[in-house]
Amino acid sequence: MRIKYTISIVFFVALVIIEKENNIISRVSDKMTLKETPQTLLQQNGFSRIVLKDNVSFSSLSKMDSALTMRRLENYSKHQEVIPRGKKHILLLAATRTGSSFVGEFFNQQGDNMFFLFEPLWHVEKMLTLDTGGTNATASAKAFRDVLHQLLLCDFSFLESFIQPLPVDHITTTLFRRESSSSLCDEAVCSPFIKGVFERYHCRTRRCGPLNLTMASQSCLKKEHIAIKSVRVRQLDTLRPLTEDPRLDVRFIQLVRDPRAVLASRMVAFADMYKNWKQWATDGDETIDEDKVRKLKGNCDNIRMSAEVGLSQPPWLRQRYMLVRYEDIARFPMRKASEMFGFTGIPFTRKVRHWILRNTQASKEAGGIYSTQKKSSEQVEKWRFSLPFKIAQVVQDACGPTLKLFGYKFVNSEEMLTNKSISLIEDKVFNFS
Ligand SMILES: *[C@@H]1O[C@H](CO)[C@@H](O)[C@H](O)[C@H]1NC(C)=O
Ligand SMILES: *[C@@H]1O[C@H](CO)[C@@H](O)[C@H](O)[C@H]1NC(C)=O
Ligand SMILES: *[C@@H]1O[C@H](CO)[C@@H](O)[C@H](O)[C@H]1NC(C)=O
Ligand SMILES: *[C@@H]1O[C@H](CO)[C@@H](O)[C@H](O)[C@H]1NC(C)=O
Ligand SMILES: *[C@@H]1O[C@H](CO)[C@@H](O)[C@H](O)[C@H]1NC(C)=O
Task: Note the pLDDT of residue 4.
Answer: 66
**What does the pLDDT read at residue 5?**
67
Give the model's pLDDT for residue 376. 59
Rounded distance, CA 164 to CA 418, Å?
46
Ligand 4, from 184, 190, 215: best to mutate by most atoms within 8 Å of Cβ? 215
Which of 42, 65, 68, 75 best tests ligand 2's pocket when mutated (most atoms within 8 Å of CB)? 75
Amino acid identity for residue 57 in this structure: S
Question: Phi and psi of 277, rounded to 5°?
Answer: -65, -40
Per-residue confidence (pLDDT) for residue 298, from 0 to 100: 97
Nearest to 65 by CA among 244, 310, 238, 250: 238
Residue 26 pLDDT: 42
Instruction: Count CB-CB contacts under 10 A for residue 199.
Output: 18
| Residues in contact with 28: Cβ distance below 8 Å, sequence separation at least 6, in sequence order | none
**CB-defined site of ligand 3, < 6 Å:** 58, 61-62, 136, 138-139
412 CA from centroid of ligand 5 (Å): 13
Peptide bond into 165 cis (omega under 30): yes
Closest ligand 4 atom to residue 191 Cα is 14
Q: Is 72 in the pocket of ligand 2 (CB under 6 A)?
A: yes
Using CA atoms, how far apart are residues 250 and 151, in angstroms rounded to an integer? 12
- Identify residue 285 by its one-letter amino acid code: D
The predicted structure's pLDDT at residue 385? 94
| Cα–Cα distance, 345 to 369 (Å, whole number) | 30
Distance CA 356, CA 109 (A): 9
Residue identifier of the C-alpha nearest atom 13 of ligand 3 = 136
71 CB within 6 A, ligand 2: yes
pLDDT of residue 338: 95
Predicted pLDDT of residue 281: 87
375 lines ligand 2 (CB under 6 A): no
Q: State if residue 247 touches ligand 2 by the CB under 6 angstroms criterion.
A: no
Residue 201 near residue 176, CB atoms below 8 Å: yes
Please answer whether residues 372 and 364 qualify as being in contact, where contact means their C-beta atoms are separated by less than 8 angstroms.
yes
The pLDDT, as a whole number, for residue 40 is 45
Spatial contact of 125 and 164, defined as CB atoms under 8 Å apart: no
Would you state the pLDDT for residue 379?
Answer: 77
Q: Which residues pair with 230 in a beta bridge?
A: 93
User: How many angstroms separate the alpha carbon of residue 280 from the centre of ligand 5?
Assistant: 28
Q: Which fold has domain 85-417?
A: Rossmann fold (3.40.50)
Element (H, E) at 298: helix 290-311
Give pLDDT, residue 103.
95
Residue nearest to atom 3 of ligand 2 (CA): 75
Domain segments of the chain as ranges: 85-417
Q: Which residues line ligand 4 (CB under 6 A)?
A: 169, 171, 191, 212, 214-215
Cα–Cα nearest to 163, from 211, 199, 122: 122
Confidence (pLDDT) at 171: 97
Burial class of residue 188 (count of CB atoms within 10 Å of its CB; 0-12, 13-18, 19+): middle
200/186 Cα distance (integer angstroms)? 18
Q: How far is ligand 3, taken at its centre, from the CA of residue 135, in Å?
A: 10
- Residue 306: the pLDDT is 98
pLDDT at 97: 92
Ligand 5 atom with minimal separation from the 422 CA: 2
Q: Which residue ranges of the chain lie beneath pLDDT 50? A: 18-19, 21-63, 70, 73-74, 76-81, 363, 365-374, 433
Distance of alpha carbon 88 from alpha carbon 152, whole angstroms? 9
- Please provide residue 228's backbone torsions phi and psi, each rounded to the nearest 5 degrees: -130, 130
Q: Alpha carbon of 399 to those of 104, 343, 360: distances in Å? A: 26, 29, 30
Q: Report the distance separating Cα 132 and Cα 117, nearest Å.
A: 29
| pLDDT tens track for 356-396 | 988 886 545 444 444 344 455 567 889 999 999 999 999 99
Contact 19 CB / ligand 5 (< 6 Å) = no
What global pTM score does this model have?
Answer: 0.79
- Which bound ligand lies closest to the C-alpha atom of 191? 4
